Amino acid sequence: MRDEQPAAPRYPQPVKMRPGETRHWCRCGHSDAAPFCTDGRCPARDRLAYTAGKEEIVLFCGCGATSRPPHCDGAHVGLRKKKKERNGRAWWRRWWRAR
C-alpha cells in the first residue's frame, strides 16, 4: 500500500472546529478522508492530533510540506513554482538536444 501515490489534496482544507473537538491530521497521505486519518489506513505514528480550544475555522495543510503541522503555512505555493521551473528546464533541454 505504501508504494501507491497518495491522493491527498494539495491545498489547505478549511474546517470549522468546535471547542474540545479533536481531528487527526494525516502525515502519510494515504487516507481516504485526506487530510484526516481514517482508522484503518494510517499507522498511529503518522497521525497528529489537533484539539480546538475555541470555536474556529482551521486551515489544515493538504500538501504535507508545511513547517507548522497541521496548519497550512502557504508551502503549496512554493511547490507549484518548483514544478514550473522543472518543466521550464526540461523544455530548454529538449530544444538544446534537437540542435
2 falls in which pLDDT band (50, 70, 90)?
very low
pTM over 0.75: no
Q: Are 28 and 75 in contact (CB under 8 A)?
A: no
Of the candidates 91, 17, 85, 93, the residue with the CA atom closest to the CA atom of residue 51 = 17
Whether the per-residue pLDDT at 25 is higher than 70: the answer is yes
Phi-psi domain of 53 (left: phi exceeds 0; alpha: psi -120 through 50; beta: other):
alpha
Cα dihedral 4/30/32/55 (nearest 10): -160
Q: Are 36 and 70 in contact (CB under 8 A)?
A: no
Q: Higher confidence at residue 38 or residue 24?
A: 24
